[in-house]
Structure 1
Amino acid sequence: MALNTRFQNETGSAARQLVEAYLQAAQTLLGQAHPHDAQLGQDGNTGVFLLQSGDQHLELQLSANGVISLRDFGLARRIAAASVPDPGPSSGSPSDPLSHPDQQEPLS
């Protein structure tokens, strides 16, 4: 979450608000998108499901005991960075809890 939001060491209610906004945005994406790719783990019992809608992506991980967890959520990764125009520096709007002022490069 710290990599994909404007989190800057907030504590208390400010941190709680960021976490709530982050989880709400992830839940919204879960309700809008369908998995477009899945990767089966080498053990055959685990997997990762990839969802994307607009400029956001989400990864769900299925554990060997059947637990589904949020593995990653944030701005969609650029697949072909050379073919995507550079949007320039991001201002990181304080009203958008998912914006991150330094989010210019893929998260890979």
Structure 2
Amino acid sequence: KMAYWFHRNPLKATAAVNYELHGVSTNDSTRKIFSDLRMTRTKLLEMLTDPSNTKDTVEKAAAEYLSLLQGMCIPIDTSEPENKLRKLSKYKWTNTLLGNIPV
């Protein structure tokens, strides 16, 4: 069955994202967002490699990280078409067929 073949690796490796955007983060609120993103991403990646963490703990850390990512995508002011932070970071995941090199 092909459905099982495509889902044999549920966790994909990602390229490092450090959220160091010195020229872009011009005020304290954007620096805080990038700092929080860095910390929550590191925390989540450490949790994923430790099998002693409970499902609830990992889900909470994932939700925290994803909510910060969502904050970069959704505009704060509803009159703006998009958040300006949206396109600043590029995320790369591995391809199951090509191995652990992010593409």
TM over 0.5: no
Structure with greater Cα Rg: 2
Higher relative contact order (CA 8 A, sep 6+): 2
Greater helix share, structure number: 2
Greater strand share, structure number: 1
Q: Structure 1-normalised TM-score?
A: 0.28
